[in-house]
Structure 1
């Protein structure tokens, strides 16, 4: 399951729960009549998708009406696809009636099974919902997911390069890009929509264009709700199945506020008011942004030529659990800091999170699978055998630096889950843990061998001590670069074929082979490298013979 780098039966659906009153007439006019105007996202083909062997562009309406014929989305920007899947999940909840918090759990699951058996979305429900709201990207008074007040509240624009992730903006140097703020290139509207989603979900913290609201002037951002997070999405045989499997039943204790998505609100939120309650499913999936944006269009509304990017709120974010992330719990920390999410890491293969998906998890494991996968027993059996997982990651630091976005795809893994095959799920967990533990010991052993080979021995003859907190040595980086691809192959071999073999000794032997391959060409260049290598190999085999708690590896620099 390697990561794949990306450049990129009733006859009717359940009735929808009551929705807010429609907006003013100039906003609620039939969107089909406005498709050629301000770039209507319900009609314009801004969403690429694979359908029956061809890559086709869709608007929201066509995407939902043809969801049963579409295999999967194909956005070339994985985190934008992850954000779009959340938006589509919220829309699906609306048009399917699965957004009713008063519906008992058994009835909710029965309703979803009936919808899956029906095989497609109800066309009147799709049209009724989409026609109720404004979806224009460049609408003069209600642009989609934007705040038109920024044009008067900000003293200047941020520039179109600021909008597009990957383009250098401001004083940043353009080492590997043809873009510069002195020659800004327009962004096609479809791509502008992708990056608009990126900002709302994965946007950075730090400085931004100054915004004045009343007597408050500020120019600081908080990071987006999914910044640096790794997302796991169910992938059905069709997009229709994917969107229904992306639903979760309501498990709260009651909602004191009406659940609204941003486009269902009467207007953009007041940036000085405390944030609204995180209600299910609309606000949870679509309304946790901490950024405010406004795109500036060209004359024909087909490109963004400038943008305002600034803060949407100065308040601390309210706690919320996204249903598509793995949650890690550290019981030693304070309650409000105990839970974190699995971070995206370009050096970490998706197979290393398999047991986090397959094991049900409890308070003792410290790992909880994404909530979207907690009701596996309620899935139709014929569907369980075909559902895969799409993994979308955006390797970022917690503030401003973006490293790499990527995606990965698992095989159909859910027949291996603890609910269906507990022995196999535990074997997968054992092998993954062995790989992690020996990978950490490999870094430690390679670092120690490097120190022993490159530093003068102390006067008392003792070997050099540990270098706490320092980054891995060149030997450790090269050894782990060899180890992890081989560890993945060994993992699948132990899970599928060598099922009775002890996992820890097998990974210890692999780690030792990788260390030897790294150090053998260097033995004649460093005095003491031979004995240091022998001691390191012995330490790895000892670690494999008697499994120890994992040693936290240091991330390569």
Structure 2
């Protein structure tokens, strides 16, 4: 990894593949990572953030908050990026070889003796069908496996540690414990938010959370910094800071098997890494929701990735401080962005990575997005702008919920007025699909015109979307016209205002 090009990056608008050493030495020239597998890029950003803390001394728990902030600001003024001597010293301490026979990077060589079966390279690579699964979108099959290039194997290795499935896996026997049950990776089904600056060097420093503990009794170590792979029979060391927080919570164990010439991965072991309960920790790049109606152990949960949800609907969760929204906590890294120099803070964007998965084995799709520079609108800097964004987003969501309801009612009144129909409403699904692109345009227009009322604007979008969704079938059903008229009237009804029957107000025409 330190010698061979394995990490795609973007430098001066061009794409290059660099080794880990080159990435660290040229971080101040690199604009961003460009890994084609977004979950792997999300994981690599966490790996690089932990390494950046080691290289800069920002992992020192003895630093006060003021000292930590001052050191980070001083480092951001360093035009040459990371100290080359520190980079070489850190890389020389550990093994960075995927196929090392004693200590392969982030793998466990004991799996060759502890597992009775290999999983296959297809099992490790997200997107490849494996086992008895049908090959819907890929021609790969286990009966004729195609070796996985080493750089791609690295990406999927990282992604498995963070987003791996909870399912039956290769049976692993350690002492008297033998099991084939795996649990989900720490980021499975989540959406991550990473600050993005002009260079990778600035992005990594901007994305470091402050140390919030009262001290650490156990060493804070990344998996590759430990003397040996984690013992699956022992509970993991408590999470104290960045090393354990960002890289030490994997639930899986892997071992890549190279081709005879070592140029690719021919096979792999993939199994459970621990059967102990999850470590208590909050990933600093996730939005956290709190539901006080649940038991204490289940109250806090990360926001789930949803490929059908546009990123602008997440902005208020990023921009509002915790005291403004007690049930939603923005990613912890955003709590320190106000300490950054103003030129950097005002241009800071957010790279978003979601992996839409179920909690077990199904991977729907991954997605990414890049926001404009939004930190100047944060509640810390412009409370009015942050509240405006939050209120507009809430109005858009409320109108969308009402649209779904009235479209479903209209569909039932049209197709089955005397009884229920099975399945969802075709009108509701189509109307939502038409509504959200319109609502996005309206949302940004409302930020420029803060005097305009939000709800009527989104209602107009909902009415237009409903008419567009029902147009193909309107003439085919005699009940469709009256049902649509009632739906439009319901959309125009303000739930916060009651209208008396004597007002004489007529329902809007469909």
TM-score with structure 1 setting the length: 0.87
Distance 1:125 1:167 in 2: 39
Residue 502 of structure 2 corresponds to which residue in structure 1?
none
Matched, 1:537 2:498: no
Residue 429 of structure 1 corresponds to which residue in structure 2?
390
Distance 1:58 1:353 in 2: 33
Matched, 1:526 2:464: no
Distance 2:262 2:426 in 1: 52
Conserved? CA contact 1:392–1:407, under 8 Å: yes
Give the superposition deviation at 1:508: 1.2
Conserved? CA contact 2:206–2:337, under 8 Å: no
Distance 2:234 2:497 in 1: 57
Residue 456 of structure 2 corresponds to which residue in structure 1?
505
Distance 1:543 1:482 in 2: 22
Matched, 1:50 2:10: yes
Residue 25 of structure 1 corresponds to which residue in structure 2?
none
Give the superposition deviation at 1:521: 2.9
Residue 205 of structure 1 corresponds to which residue in structure 2?
166
Give the superposition deviation at 1:485: 0.7
Give the superposition deviation at 1:68: 0.7
Conserved? CA contact 2:118–2:270, under 8 Å: yes
Give the superposition deviation at 1:545: 6.3
The DSSP-based 3-state class of the residue aligned with 2:493 is helix
Give the superposition deviation at 1:364: 4.9
Residue 35 of structure 1 corresponds to which residue in structure 2?
none
Residue 417 of structure 1 corresponds to which residue in structure 2?
378
Per-residue CA deviation, residues 105-163 of structure 1 (Å, 9 max, x unaligned), is 00000000000011311110111001111010110110001000000111110111111
Give the superposition deviation at 1:544: 6.6
Q: How does 1:67-216 map to 2 (within 5 A)?
A: 67-119=27-79, 120-216=81-177
Residue 474 of structure 1 corresponds to which residue in structure 2?
426
Conserved? CA contact 1:438–1:511, under 8 Å: yes
The DSSP-based 3-state class of the residue aligned with 2:77 is helix
Give the superposition deviation at 1:185: 0.1
Per-residue CA deviation, residues 350-395 of structure 1 (Å, 9 max, x unaligned), is 1101111111122853111100010232111111111100001111
Per-residue CA deviation, residues 43-97 of structure 1 (Å, 9 max, x unaligned), is 2110010112221111111101101111111001111100000000000000100
Distance 1:429 1:471 in 2: 33
Residue 325 of structure 1 corresponds to which residue in structure 2?
286
The DSSP-based 3-state class of the residue aligned with 1:217 is strand
Give the superposition deviation at 1:454: 1.1
Residue 297 of structure 1 corresponds to which residue in structure 2?
258
The DSSP-based 3-state class of the residue aligned with 2:28 is helix
The DSSP-based 3-state class of the residue aligned with 1:306 is strand
Conserved? CA contact 1:507–1:544, under 8 Å: no
CA pair 376-257 structure 1, distance change in 2 beyond 3 A: same
Conserved? CA contact 1:508–1:544, under 8 Å: no
Conserved? CA contact 1:233–1:391, under 8 Å: yes
Give the superposition deviation at 1:101: 1.1
Distance 1:135 1:404 in 2: 30
Matched, 1:253 2:214: yes
Conserved? CA contact 1:138–1:295, under 8 Å: yes
Conserved? CA contact 1:167–1:179, under 8 Å: yes
Residue 193 of structure 2 corresponds to which residue in structure 1?
232
The DSSP-based 3-state class of the residue aligned with 2:347 is coil
Conserved? CA contact 2:97–2:105, under 8 Å: yes
Give the superposition deviation at 1:528: 1.6
1:494 aligned to which of 446, 449, 456: 446
* Greater RCO (CA < 8 Å, at least 6 residues apart): 1
Q: How does 1:344-423 map to 2 (within 5 A)?
A: 344-362=305-323, 364-423=325-384
Unaligned runs of 5+ in 1: 1-40, 459-463, 548-557
Conserved? CA contact 1:330–1:339, under 8 Å: yes
Question: After the TM superposition, which of the residue ranges 196-205 and 333-342 deviates more from structure 2?
Answer: 333-342
Per-residue CA deviation, residues 211-236 of structure 1 (Å, 9 max, x unaligned), is 11111110000000000110000001
The DSSP-based 3-state class of the residue aligned with 1:68 is coil
Residue 233 of structure 2 corresponds to which residue in structure 1?
272
Distance 1:130 1:472 in 2: 56
Aligned residue pairs, count: 497
Conserved? CA contact 1:161–1:181, under 8 Å: yes
